[in-house]
Chain A
Amino acid sequence: MSATAAKREIKTLEKGKKETTEETISIKNLDVYYGDNHAIKDVSLDISPYKITAFIGPSGCGKSTILRAINRMNDEISNCRMEGDIHWRGHKLLSDEVDPVILREKIGMVFQKPNPFPKSIYDNIAYGPKIHGVKDKDELDDIVEKSLKDAALWDEVKDRLEKNALDLSGGQQQRLCIARALAIEPEVILLDEPCSALDPIATSKIEDLLEELKEDYTVVIVTHNMQQAARISDYTAYMYLGELIEFGETEQIFENPQKENTEKYITGRFG
């Protein structure tokens, strides 16, 4: 992408909270193809700011694909093609005008499998800020501390920041990855099954964390755990075979689903 385009993006993607309607991520008629595989079929929905939106649905229905569309991670898959649009702050995120590198700085992502870099805990957190231009060591120290605190990991690791991140437990690693995503001060956080590799205690820690995070961030989470979705999310989207079947407030989806398909899924009668 050209430098002028980058400049334009940065001007408008300024920090600070604007009107909430501007902040809404609205997905419009999204289609995603992997080669011939039509993975997302004409999906439209609005993701509300400073809320937790959960995506649920059977395996392979396209939850991860939607998440990867929002921060353009799908660009990294060579045979992946996207149609339709995603609006956020007056930008068409899927257009060529938007530089995915800048976009991802604003929309962070946490993956299903904890993937800390084989570096020290400190360097894992400092990695993003360093690349985005924070060079002052004291400033970095502050960022590392704040992010780890936000991710509720600080107390556990503050004495061993120089230790290799791979020595942490799975739950700690996942919180480290969340801290790593927070360190670049994004405005939206996408989490793709962040708890699937974790035990119940670690899971509840992360759930608590997400509750706190929504004060400052728009949170989107994919989960296979129905209770989890019901517990923490404000809105729930149920997907099936690449289509959005039902979307609404979590309470309504779980207590009064409109579609039979949805009801079957959440009551565990299939999938």
Chain B
Amino acid sequence: MRMRWNKKLTVVAVFGLLIAGTLVMSGCTGSDDNQLNQTGSSTVLPLAKAWAEEYDGAQISVSGGGSSHGISALLKGEADLADASRQLKPEDIEKVGGDPSKVTDNGTVTGPIKVNGREVEPTKWVVAHDVLTVVVNNQNDWVDELNYTQLYHIFTTDDTSIYWDDVSGLDDAPHKKIRIYAPDEASGTYDYFFESIGGLDNSRLGHDVDKDGKKDYHPSADDNVILDAIKNNEYAIGYFGYAYYKQNTEKVNALSIAEEDEEAVPPTTENVADYPLSRPLHIYTDGVPEEGSTINDYLRYVLSEEGQSIVPGVGYIKVGDVSPGLLQHQLDRLGG
């Protein structure tokens, strides 16, 4: 009997402690203003994680989920910072029941928006640039640059180039099938690539196109797969983010890219202002954060020399390298 009682006591004690512990834990939440939630684009994610790691002024928890998820979390007040690899679109506002007409062409809003009875004003900050890299096998000696037209011929079913020597301007290339390894339709990179080279919706390479199997096309969601395949196939071509290429420069060759008739530009950090396949990455906040607030401090850190110095290491391009003016303008808005 005595033993029993002791055991019972232990169980009660364990439970009691646990419940007390959780209550204490929950009690702590309100008091901690130094916490920020950042969520959104998986393209921005590695960068956001790096900043969160280096920044000491606040506790920042970072998660992915996609640009749309991030923006909607911000609009609903569930996140303090939304990562986005694209600009705010009217649909984002519509989805949470706000007034979509307030969205401007450059991805901001003309005034506060009512969401669930609460006002929110999504405000855009350009924090880095993402660059797409088109890569071929190391043994490929017949191509080191391509323009948008050539890319269009290779990557769409419109005016098909099936063999390397079909591609306009590559008459001396071997008569071998082009083997395409590229991100699949689900990825943001895919959308961005085709938006840039102007692939018509119904001719861009995808699962439903090219059913006759004329093109040797292998979509994949995993950059590792693409890299692995291109590394091992002499006649392969593909594309992925500069961030990923940066980690594997010796394994594959990056091509210089030209927008139509202009000069071809190799993808390097220095050239980013001129390189065609590059896009800005954003963080959205609710309004311009007040000076002295945690969010303001954090954004200023992100845009500071120190914060920006991390960007190349992750594989993206500093804002200042593309447009120093924009960087300064944003810092000014933050009151820096």
Q: Is there any pair of Cβ atoms, one from A and one from B, under 8 angstroms apart in the complex? A: no
